[in-house]
Amino acid sequence: MTMKIVEDEDRDLIPRWRRFSKSIGETRAITPPSELETYVQVISPELLSEWKVAPSLTLASEIVSSAYLANSRQPALGAAKMVVESTSITGLAKKLAKEILGHPIEPEAATLFEEDEWVRQVRVRTNRYPRDPIAWVDLALGYVISGKIKHAERALKVAISLAPDDRFVLRAIARFYVHQDRSDLALHILRKSLATKHDPWLIATEISVCEALDRTSSLTKSGRTMILKSGLSPHHLSELSSEVATLEYRHGNVRNAKKLFKTSLLDPTENAVAQAGWASRREEAFTFPVRASATGLQSAEALAWEAYSDSDWSGAGDFSTQWFKDQPFSVRPALLGSCAHGIALENYDEAIKVCEKSAICNPNDVMLLNNCAYNLAMDNQLEKAERYFDRISGEIEDKEKAISTVLIATRGLLRIRQGSIDIGISDYRHSIAIALGNRDYNRAVMAASNLAMELKSINRPEEARQTMMDTLAMEKMLDDNLSQLVFSRAKKRIL
Amino acid sequence: MLRPYIETPKDKLKIGATIGPWVVRERLVSQQQVVGESGSFFSRGYIVENDKGESAFLKAMDYKTAMVLYQHLSPTDAMLQIATDIAFEKKVAMHCRRMSRVITAIDEHTLNSGSLDEWVECIIFEKAEGHIRKFIDFSKELDAIFILKALHNTCVGLSQLHTNGMAHEDVKPSNVMVMNRAEKHSAKIGDLGRIVVKDPSVFGLSKTPAHFNYAFPGDKDYAPPEAMYRARLDMDEFQHRVICDLFQFGSLVYFCFVNVTMPAALLHYTHVDHQPANKGYFEAIPYLHAALNEALRDLELASPPFIKDELVQIVQELCNPDYRLRGHPRDIRGRSYSPSLHRYHPILNRLLRKTTMQVERSA
């Protein structure tokens, strides 16, 4: 198995967690009510007959409300016009009247808010009306992004107590606990809800949480039956099909998995597209039109990985930034983004921005801390880099070999830039040796190339040249785009 | 669409005609009907006067108009139903005579000449100046004292009905009657035509009025969310009818300040995927809470700053989209679930005093 520089990790359909305003599509009813007739069908005749004889602004605003409920514009045009033209009526009444007159609706200012302002607004919402579970979930998201995990958990607990069977709330809470490495709690809450057994979205979530815990879900069977027999719309079944497909693939049943992935892409969610993209990068038999779906649904994750595998570095950077903005608490877009911006494009400012922001809500992620330190060191912000590097807990040498290869190389970089050149060089050489011992040529070449560049920058061109010459033999073993890029760039600059 | 209006016996009382001690002085056109009319064109209003020169409002109803409502029944059943409806309204009106904040019936008469088709049933009520809509002038500065006084009186009126085992079911601006604005700013709740009673046997009727069979008999424009979503409710029927009154009263408070009815505001802030055509009531509740939250923001902006927090609190409790949680927290907490408007009398009174002081201070 080859070892990529940016790990395209094992992936499950853990729900996305976005602001409510961006998640409405995921909250649709599975079976809409059979009664389609609107409750209010006509504008109140009492109001209209009164309007004919004695029109007034108060009456006009009542007619506007009635017309809005009845979705009937024509008889209310005069009243709506009076409300719109009035200088004393503002706010909602005017907005409804404008809708009746067919005036263009001004975009909500809220969508333009920056994150901090958005969180402030959401806090106002929970203060004003504490029974609104949706506001609590949004607030929790804001807290997670700001790294206030305990506050977020408290907010989610309020939300779940207010709406224990709501899909949006349950999926958010599942996402939160999985992110906090407390998937068992996520599972407990999901299983406690009466909705989970009957809702394909929640069944998909339950199965994916079980997978995160290495457990078998008791709902897999009913999930399969639901896909085959329920007759639900493909959109409702998208994530469930995708998660069951992932299970089939893991169990080696590629044919079934392929069929299910195709079902998941009939009317997919963005997450299902990303999952299909992940699967197709792993298995040649999976040839799905992922790019088209990803573009249509703006699946930044799928597009970022596509760009990465096409060595389209600016695309990988841009899409990973988009992916990061969509899922700011997830560490994966930050890892990919920091590599694309920092290592590939040498845009350290952008890489540092992504890393530091992600480190707020992922304060203990080893690779993220490493990437922070690396990019800061490359930008000569050594003190800050050192601070991030020191936050990595445990013995570096005791970690998984691929990780300790990277960490030791970063330590080498820091030492060299701090003036402890020999210790730094020895760290680099140690890192290369571990990588070679692990047959991880991508990382070995990466470390060697970086060492050579550092040697060149401290005016030791011969040693730099020699390091590159020693590495040349490994070139044909490289199978990762990023290490190929770094190696060829170093060759060009040194040899 | 409005049906073309065809005059029936109730519309044909002559000016100067005598009905008991009352003389007909004026026939009201629709927009002038001070009491009565719930949009069904089932009744006609007149101003009458007695020999002491006291004016009153006469609500005339006939069988001919009512027959249109019951075309689906056999003529005998329809007649029986109409007789029940009219008898019920008369009895209710007389029953409420001692309630200080409910429009009082003074007298009742039947003009029974000719066939039943020609009969006219009359209820004579105390005369109001008009409904609250006529006195809230959105084009001028908000008269918060007048509005709060009217709301307080309406709240007391509804509580009086509830205490006597009656739910109004049709609380809306046109049913809040201003009695004497110049002197007292007092208001009463009027139009008892949609009232539902807890124990119909009190009125000694062999049949229940037709509107008792409706989940929500009042004006649909003011219906609570559970009615709009046509939810099947697990609750004592009369208790739910009282809860409907709570929602409608909350909606009235909202309308007086925001100029939009609460059902329209909720619909506006509820995404189409969560509206009645696309989601069941219980599934939609979390999103209706979110919609109410948005609607409350409008109330916050439109209310006088010194009472906005209390108004938001009142409306959020009374317009709670989840009918099981509607009302004052102390009434719905614990085992003795008994939502009512009683706790809102002192709150509205306090707001009224606060506003009066504020206005005096700034004057």
Three-class DSSP labels, A419-454: CCHHHHHHHHHHHHHHHHHCCCHHHHHHHHHHHHHH
- Inter-chain CB proximity B273 and A20 less than 8 Å: no
The pLDDT tens digits for B117-176 are: 788 889 899 888 888 888 877 666 668 888 999 999 999 999 999 999 999 999 999 999
Sort A91 into a burial class: Cβ within 10 Å, 0-12 / 13-18 / 19+.
middle
**Do residues B93 and B123 touch, judged by C-beta distance below 8 A?**
yes
- Summarize the confidence of residues B264-275 as an average pLDDT: 95
Report the distance separating Cα B308 and Cα B300, nearest Å. Answer: 6
The CA-atom distances, in angstroms, between B267 and each of A42, A414, B181, B292, B326 are 15, 59, 34, 9, 18
Residues of A in contact with B295 (CB under 8 A): 92
Please list the residue range(s) of chain B that carry CATH number 1.10.510.10: 10-126, 130-362
Nearest to A174 by CA among A373, A296, A26: A26
Q: What's the angle, vertex CA A268, arms to CA A265 and CA A272, rounded to 5? A: 85
Report the distance separating Cα A251 and Cα B183, nearest Å. Answer: 84
Percent of chain A whose pLDDT exceeds 90: 77
More confident residue, B84 or A317: A317
Q: Give the gap in angstroms from C-alpha A274 to the nearest C-alpha of chain B.
A: 25
More confident residue, B337 or A43: A43
In this complex, which of A40, A88, A125 lies closest to B139 when CB atoms are compared?
A88
* Lowest mean pLDDT, pick from A192-206, B76-90, B260-274: B76-90
Residue B231 DSSP SS3: coil
> Residue B47: in which H helix or E strand, if any?
strand B43-49
- Summarize the confidence of residues B78-90 as an average pLDDT: 84
Q: What's the pLDDT at B259?
A: 93
> Residue A17: in which H helix or E strand, if any?
none
Taking the Cβ of residue A194 and every Cβ of chain B, the question of whether any pair is shorter than 8 Å is answered with no
- Inter-chain CB proximity A27 and B297 less than 8 Å: no
**Do residues A38 and A71 touch, judged by C-beta distance below 8 A?**
yes
Q: What's the pLDDT at A87?
A: 87
Beta pairing partners, A398 = none
Report the distance separating Cα A286 and Cα B144, nearest Å. Answer: 68
**Structure-block tokens of residue A79:** 């009243």
Instruction: pLDDT band for B183, please (50, 70, 90 cuts).
Output: low
Over 50: is that where the pLDDT of A468 sits?
Answer: yes
Q: What's the pLDDT at A123?
A: 95
Query: In terms of CA atoms, which chain A residue is nearest residue B219?
Result: A44
- Global ipTM: 0.90
Taking the Cβ of residue B37 and every Cβ of chain A, the question of whether any pair is shorter than 8 Å is answered with yes
Q: Cα dihedral sign for B206, B211, B213, B218?
A: negative
The CA-atom distances, in angstroms, between B162 and each of A114, A431, B105, B341 are 49, 82, 18, 9
Q: What's the pLDDT at B40?
A: 44
Over 70: is that where the pLDDT of B111 sits?
Answer: yes
The CA-atom distances, in angstroms, between B50 and each of A90, B22, B200, B304 are 46, 5, 33, 44
Report the distance separating Cα A232 and Cα A239, nearest Å. Answer: 13
- Summarize the confidence of residues B105-125 as an average pLDDT: 85
Beta strands at B130-131 and B176-180: parallel, antiparallel or unpaired:
antiparallel
More confident residue, B335 or B227: B227
User: Chain A 128-147, CB below 8 Å of chain B: which residues?
Assistant: 128-129, 131-135
Taking the Cβ of residue B79 and every Cβ of chain A, the question of whether any pair is shorter than 8 Å is answered with no
Instruction: pLDDT band for A473, please (50, 70, 90 cuts).
Output: very high
Q: What's the pLDDT at A2?
A: 47
User: Chain A 82-101, CB below 8 Å of chain B: which residues?
Assistant: 83, 86, 88-93, 95-96
Instruction: pLDDT band for A180, please (50, 70, 90 cuts).
Output: very high
**Do residues B236 and B198 touch, judged by C-beta distance below 8 A?**
no
Over 90: is that where the pLDDT of A6 sits?
Answer: no
In this complex, which of A29, A40, A49 lies closest to B31 when CB atoms are compared?
A49
Percent of chain B whose pLDDT exceeds 90: 48
Residue A397 DSSP SS3: helix
Percent of chain B whose pLDDT exceeds 70: 92
Give the count of Cβ contacts less than 8 A between chain A and B: 174
Report the distance separating Cα A429 and Cα A250, nearest Å. Answer: 37
Q: What's the pLDDT at A112?
A: 43
Residues of B in contact with A64 (CB under 8 A): 260, 264
Instruction: For the beta carbon of residue A83, count every other beta carbon within 10 angstroms.
Output: 26
Residues of A in contact with B37 (CB under 8 A): 46
More confident residue, B134 or A310: A310
**Average pLDDT of chain A, as a whole number:** 92
Beta strands at B105-111 and B120-126: parallel, antiparallel or unpaired:
antiparallel
Q: What's the pLDDT at A106?
A: 66
Taking the Cβ of residue A45 and every Cβ of chain B, the question of whether any pair is shorter than 8 Å is answered with yes
For tokens 């992916």, what's the residue? Answer: A323
- Summarize the confidence of residues A216-226 as an average pLDDT: 95
**Structure-block tokens of residue A468:** 């590159």
**Structure-block tokens of residue B118:** 């020609």
Rg of chain A taking only CA atoms, in angstroms: 28
**Do residues A172 and A152 touch, judged by C-beta distance below 8 A?**
no
Over 80: is that where the pLDDT of A105 sits?
Answer: no
Over 70: is that where the pLDDT of A269 sits?
Answer: yes
Q: What's the pLDDT at A8?
A: 67
Nearest to A342 by CA among A490, A479, A482: A482
Taking the Cβ of residue A25 and every Cβ of chain B, the question of whether any pair is shorter than 8 Å is answered with yes
In this complex, which of A24, A68, A128 lies closest to B267 when CB atoms are compared?
A68
Q: What's the pLDDT at B31?
A: 37
- Inter-chain CB proximity B230 and A39 less than 8 Å: yes
Q: What's the pLDDT at A354?
A: 94
Report the distance separating Cα A261 and Cα A273, nearest Å. Answer: 9
**Do residues A248 and A260 touch, judged by C-beta distance below 8 A?**
yes
User: Chain A 227-246, CB below 8 Å of chain B: which residues?
Assistant: none
> Residue A391: in which H helix or E strand, if any?
none
For chain A, give percent helix, strand, coil, nearest 5.
Answer: 70, 0, 30
Over 50: is that where the pLDDT of A1 sits?
Answer: no
Residue B322 DSSP SS3: coil
The pLDDT tens digits for B86-97 are: 888 888 888 888
**Structure-block tokens of residue A448:** 């060697």
Instruction: For the beta carbon of residue B51, count every other beta carbon within 10 angstroms.
Output: 8
Over 60: is that where the pLDDT of B30 sits?
Answer: no
Nearest to B261 by CA among A67, A157, A325, A255: A67
The CA-atom distances, in angstroms, between A470 and each of A282, A467, A473 are 32, 5, 7
Domain B10-126 annotated CATH 1.10.510.10: yes
**Structure-block tokens of residue A329:** 């608490």
The pLDDT tens digits for A354-389 are: 999 999 989 999 999 999 999 999 999 999 999 999
- Inter-chain CB proximity B174 and A89 less than 8 Å: no
The pLDDT tens digits for A114-164 are: 777 888 999 999 999 999 999 999 999 999 998 999 999 999 999 999 999
CATH for B130-362 is 1.10.510.10
The pLDDT tens digits for B283-342 are: 999 999 999 999 999 999 999 999 999 999 999 999 999 999 999 999 987 777 788 999
For tokens 């890892």, what's the residue? Answer: A335
* Lowest mean pLDDT, pick from A440-454, B101-115, B220-234: B101-115
- Inter-chain CB proximity A128 and B298 less than 8 Å: no
Residues 6+ apart with CB under 8 A from B254: B260, B261, B262, B265, B295, B299, B315, B319
Over 50: is that where the pLDDT of A41 sits?
Answer: yes
**Structure-block tokens of residue B120:** 């006219």
**Structure-block tokens of residue A256:** 């079934």
